[in-house]
Structure 1
Amino acid sequence: MTAPAPPAVGKLGLDPHTVARARALAARVGRPVVELARSHTTVSVERATLRLAGLDGADSEGIPWVNRLVDTVADSVGLEHGVCLPVWDALRTGPYRDLTDLAAHAAARTVRFRVPRGEDAEAAAAAAHHAVARGLAVIDARRAERDRLVGEWGDPPAPWIYLIVATGDIYEDIRQAQAAARGGADVIAVIRSTGQSLLDYVPQGATREGYAGTYATRENFRLMRAALDEVSAELGRYVRLTNYASGLCMPEIAALAGLERLDMMLNDSMYGILFRDINPVRTFVDQRFSRQLHARAGILINTGEDNYLTTADAVDAAHTVTASQLLNEYFAKEAGLPDGQLGLGHAFEIDPDRPDSFRLELAHAMLARELFPDAPLKWMPPTRHMTGDVFRGYLLNGFFNLAGALTGQSILLVGMMTEAVVTPFLSDRDLALRNVRYVLGSAGSLAEDFRPAPGGFIARRAHQVLDEAVDLLENIRDRGLLDAIGHGTFGGMRRPADGGRGADGVVARAPGYRNPAADLLEGNEDR
């Protein structure tokens, strides 16, 4: 006997059985990828572990010590057993003062590394565990500090207004970020310099030269966080800081973000694969470790489904966004992130000349809101169809803000009328913030009153997209996610599993692999 179907829920009347099936399929698709991540490591995971253990700084050529040390260990004994056993064995048995001293000698090729066995291996692992645990304790303290400051200064009401700065000069970014916060921004995102995601190292120190963005470095993180704390105290509300944990150094940037109390990180499961041609296996290994770090640090992640709609049609490919959101949710929760840290992404990217384009946008936005009711969704403004007509662009952004208000989005990225034309001026940002403030002030509570007609255009479209997403996930379940990515399922980008940048930095774990950071983040060892 079949149990009766539970009643339809929400304003769209989504079928709970269909929603449950969608999540079950996402889990089926995602599990083999998680197992792949569990059985491999990467050079960036190992470097992140050393950063958690306290290794910082760079040599006279600007190459980080973590790169020097991991590369030398890899050349000497490989990384199949992880970097920690050979490194802490060398520290125990050699004349080196600390990790930095060892890294300097390793760069000079004067260290003879080995993979210790037996009691020597246990002693090295214990020493590594102690060092990494100290780093995670710092992250725990920074998380507690955030909680205290939010309690002291207060949280802004939803939706949070998210604004980008991107001058290339961290000190100019600070001026613009503080001005934006005073103008009403709740979240400041510092865009990275073009191409940083393809660097297999994290630059060192404060930077004043970047192209279309500012380099993500630990010092830049520290400087911006201090500046936003200053303006938060002035305004009486906690202003959040965002950067990007993506690219070839995803785990390291996640570690640095936790150590310097960033609040959000762009951290999509497939963005680097699709839009930066980074090896898929490298990306999935790195994103799992980075998300475990974000979970520990209390950092809210933002995913990148909006990018699919810049390369594929926003109506025809709407179901790929929903499928990706479900996969991102599965990967995030498996890594320990709760609903409250899942800033799943979507965007207002339908061609405005298409009939009923605004109704279609509302359908897609409402579907995301009802599928993920407890997630702080990040709603992205139009970019693909911005033509340089600033008046039309300003109107489109007003409609975007209205759609966000009507559908209860959590994080609104401020749309610029000069998007894709020039790097916005401060005056452009001021006008954009006025647009947001007007819409939210006049219509911010309309979600309470707005209900699409049952069985009407908006509801039918939302049901159609969900059904297509389920069909797509069923297809991917049969083929495997790596094969689906290789054949251009998402964003129209074909990325084979054995291709892409950084593939040579992926290593299969050997029996006896040890990484105390992985163990502590998995919960296999006490904090």
Structure 2
Amino acid sequence: MQLSDGRHVPDLHLDRAKVDRCRALADQVTAQVLELVRRHTTVSIERTVLRLYGLHDAGPRGVPLVNLAVDALHERGLLDRGAAYWMGYVVRRGATDPLAVVDRMASLPRHPEPLPESEERAMLAEMRREARANVDELAGRVGRRNALRDELGVGPRPHRYVIVATGNIHDDVEQARAAAQAGADVIAVIRSTAQSLLDYVPHGATTEGYGGTYATQENFRIMREALDDESRRIRRYVHLTNYSSGLCMPEIAFAAAWERLDMLLNDAMYGILFRDINMKRTLCDQHFSRRICALADIVINTGEDNYITTADADEAAHTVIASQFVNESFAHRAGLPDRLVGLGHSFEIDPAREDTIARELAQALLVRTLFPEAPIKYMPPTKHKQGDIFFSHAYDVMADVVSCVTGQGIQLLGMMTEAMHNPFLMDRYVALKSSEYVYRAWRSMGAEIGFRPGGLVERRADETLGKALALLEEVAEDGLMKAIGKARFGDIARTEDGGKGLAGVVARAPAYFNPFLEIMEAR
């Protein structure tokens, strides 16, 4: 099979009827969820709307202005009309600068005096005009990013993806520059541990964080400017990614779009399963965040690799495939074309088992064949890593070989000391150096290798696809929320009304107003 970028991968013969049935079932699953999404908004969606109108700053004690406004509206039971409506309302009543707008919104009574019909029409029209102007400004920023990428060009695929995670954004910059100089194509700034559970986005640059660096708009700006500078210096565009997940998923998507990031980790179910965030909250937020990613031409990376860190990778391989079909359908419903849908999976079968490479090849090639236009992101082994750095390094190289042969789009490089500590600069350099050797040595092997009909690879792929189909039949019958409640993904069960953030979900009023959503849906 030839990919759109010219690479070849071995042919994998699949039952097309099974594949088509999987896609139809995934669409059935997501259609049920979209009915819920269309009836609700969330505090994070409404904060994002205000950010799109330009309320980026923080107020007293560093509290974001959007939190001050939206919390007050929610407390008074006004959020069902949409934050954009009340912003227009207070501007119509004389508020001008951002602080005045927020103060007036926070001071609204529980039953504000209705606007005369003609004045309300004029107000809504003005808010729509301003929304279109702001979307045009965002598009201009995205256009500048894309122009630089086109001017400099990018490295060959699979793009080599490495992480930085010092906690200090300025130290992250230095590590990112060093990685780019050593050949990295994508820099991922790992988000500080548990930031996904904060119901606000910290403001400004940050210099400390546990297990990573806080995802803030200013941190995004600092890193993007540094990578633009480094890209010009090395004459190769370096991509930047971060995490759009958790209780502020749409807000981080906006900040990333505004500051010209290229990719975002953005999964429909990750927050539900692995951070115990309420299902309704996550499913509403992921849809709006993906609308923003579509608007800003951002590649999303989904999180199916996480399923096989909590469940057995060999036995649960089909759950990865089923989830990828669901994530693809959610992405399409949010307006993302295949070229922006970076579905995720991982090299995680226990290396103590026999024939793991054949089984890993079957899984990777199955994903590649099912989603030929997607920029598939392939994760390295982590679950079974050891303190033996020599074994660890060999283990990572195996993943690089599978990635190259099966035509993955983005390869997160494993680090030989991953099981021991946050990788040193030298670890990153060694990972980049060895991957360069693998990709050079195996460059054409995808076109040379063929798998025996009815052999282990083909049988394993067909078995996994069949199990994924059976799981999707069950999920379509039960509904996604009940399926998650039965621990069908990642061996983790969650309840529909459990988890964090449910109080931030609001049923939309019949007159709900969100001009940015109108623009995104029209596109």
Short-chain TM bin = over 0.9
How far apart, CA to CA, are the structure 2 residues paired with 1:292 and 1:377? Answer: 20
1:140 is matched with which residue? Answer: 139
Aligned-residue offset at 1:46: 0.4
Aligned-residue offset at 1:457: 0.2
Question: What amino acid does structure 2 have at the position aligned with 1:286?
Answer: D
SS of residue matched to 1:231: helix
How far apart, CA to CA, are the structure 2 residues paired with 1:173 and 1:10? Answer: 39
What do residues 372-396 of structure 1 show as CA deviations (whole Å, max 9, x unaligned)? 0010000000000002111110000
What do residues 341-400 of structure 1 show as CA deviations (whole Å, max 9, x unaligned)? 011000000000011111110000000000000100000000000021111100000100
What do residues 316-350 of structure 1 show as CA deviations (whole Å, max 9, x unaligned)? 10000000000000000111100100110000000
After superposition, residues 462-477 of structure 1 pair within 5 angstroms as 462-477=461-476
Q: Check conservation: 2:166, 2:172, Cα contact below 8 A.
A: yes
2:307 is matched with which residue? Answer: 308
How far apart, CA to CA, are the structure 2 residues paired with 1:114 and 1:401? Answer: 64
1:510 is matched with which residue? Answer: 509
Q: Could you tell me the percent identity over the aligned residues?
A: 51
How far apart, CA to CA, are the structure 2 residues paired with 1:386 and 1:173? Answer: 25
Question: What amino acid does structure 1 have at the position aligned with 2:29?
Answer: V
Aligned-residue offset at 1:118: 2.8
Cα 1:48–1:453 shift into 2, 3 Å: same
How far apart, CA to CA, are the structure 1 residues paired with 2:113 and 2:496? Answer: 32
How far apart, CA to CA, are the structure 2 residues paired with 1:419 and 1:114? Answer: 60
2:62 is matched with which residue? Answer: 62
Q: Check conservation: 1:86, 1:113, Cα contact below 8 A.
A: no
Cα 1:393–1:117 shift into 2, 3 Å: farther
- Residues 1:264 and 2:263 are matched in the alignment: yes
Q: Check conservation: 1:382, 1:415, Cα contact below 8 A.
A: yes
Aligned-residue offset at 1:112: 8.2
How far apart, CA to CA, are the structure 1 residues paired with 2:74 and 2:120? Answer: 18
Aligned-residue offset at 1:25: 0.8
Q: Check conservation: 2:243, 2:264, Cα contact below 8 A.
A: yes
2:83 is matched with which residue? Answer: 83
What do residues 437-494 of structure 1 show as CA deviations (whole Å, max 9, x unaligned)? 1111111221111221111000000000001000000011111111001111100111
SS of residue matched to 2:86: helix
Aligned-residue offset at 1:120: 3.5
How far apart, CA to CA, are the structure 1 residues paired with 2:115 and 2:330? Answer: 34
1:30 is matched with which residue? Answer: 30
How far apart, CA to CA, are the structure 1 residues paired with 2:186 and 2:77? Answer: 44
Q: Check conservation: 2:90, 2:104, Cα contact below 8 A.
A: no
SS of residue matched to 1:412: strand
For normalisation by structure 1, the TM-score amounts to 0.95
Question: What amino acid does structure 2 have at the position aligned with 1:151?
Answer: D
Aligned-residue offset at 1:510: 1.3
How far apart, CA to CA, are the structure 1 residues paired with 2:112 and 2:210? Answer: 40
SS of residue matched to 1:265: strand
Question: What amino acid does structure 2 have at the position aligned with 1:189?
Answer: A
Moved over 4 A (4+): 105-117
Question: What amino acid does structure 2 have at the position aligned with 1:270?
Answer: M
Q: Check conservation: 2:39, 2:508, Cα contact below 8 A.
A: yes
Q: Check conservation: 1:380, 1:412, Cα contact below 8 A.
A: yes
SS of residue matched to 1:496: coil
How far apart, CA to CA, are the structure 2 residues paired with 1:179 and 1:249? Answer: 30
What do residues 127-153 of structure 1 show as CA deviations (whole Å, max 9, x unaligned)? 322232232112211221122112211
After superposition, residues 120-269 of structure 1 pair within 5 angstroms as 120-269=119-268
How far apart, CA to CA, are the structure 2 residues paired with 1:113 and 1:99? Answer: 20
How far apart, CA to CA, are the structure 2 residues paired with 1:513 and 1:487? Answer: 34
Cα 1:505–1:228 shift into 2, 3 Å: same
Question: What amino acid does structure 1 have at the position aligned with 2:238?
Answer: V
After superposition, residues 375-390 of structure 1 pair within 5 angstroms as 375-390=374-389
SS of residue matched to 2:187: strand
How far apart, CA to CA, are the structure 1 residues paired with 2:240 and 2:27? Answer: 31
2:272 is matched with which residue? Answer: 273
2:3 is matched with which residue? Answer: none
How far apart, CA to CA, are the structure 1 residues paired with 2:107 and 2:175? Answer: 43
How far apart, CA to CA, are the structure 1 residues paired with 2:304 and 2:43? Answer: 27
Aligned-residue offset at 1:107: 5.0
Aligned-residue offset at 1:199: 0.5
What do residues 255-276 of structure 1 show as CA deviations (whole Å, max 9, x unaligned)? 1111110000000010000000
Aligned-residue offset at 1:126: 2.0
How far apart, CA to CA, are the structure 1 residues paired with 2:104 and 2:207? Answer: 31
Task: Give the aligned length.
Answer: 515
Q: Check conservation: 2:176, 2:187, Cα contact below 8 A.
A: yes
Cα 1:10–1:22 shift into 2, 3 Å: farther
SS of residue matched to 1:80: helix
2:417 is matched with which residue? Answer: 418
2:39 is matched with which residue? Answer: 39
1:449 is matched with which residue? Answer: 448
2:339 is matched with which residue? Answer: 340
Question: What amino acid does structure 2 have at the position aligned with 1:45?
Answer: I
For normalisation by structure 2, the TM-score amounts to 0.96
2:4 is matched with which residue? Answer: none
Aligned-residue offset at 1:105: 4.8
1:11 is matched with which residue? Answer: 11
Question: What amino acid does structure 2 have at the position aligned with 1:154?
Answer: G
Q: Check conservation: 1:85, 1:121, Cα contact below 8 A.
A: no
Cα 1:114–1:508 shift into 2, 3 Å: farther
After superposition, residues 285-296 of structure 1 pair within 5 angstroms as 285-296=284-295
Gaps of 5+ in 1: 1-8
SS of residue matched to 1:61: helix
After superposition, residues 314-463 of structure 1 pair within 5 angstroms as 314-463=313-462
- Residues 1:478 and 2:477 are matched in the alignment: yes
Question: What amino acid does structure 1 have at the position aligned with 2:251?
Answer: E
How far apart, CA to CA, are the structure 2 residues paired with 1:300 and 1:115? Answer: 42
How far apart, CA to CA, are the structure 2 residues paired with 1:485 and 1:117? Answer: 47
How far apart, CA to CA, are the structure 1 residues paired with 2:219 and 2:137? Answer: 18
2:50 is matched with which residue? Answer: 50
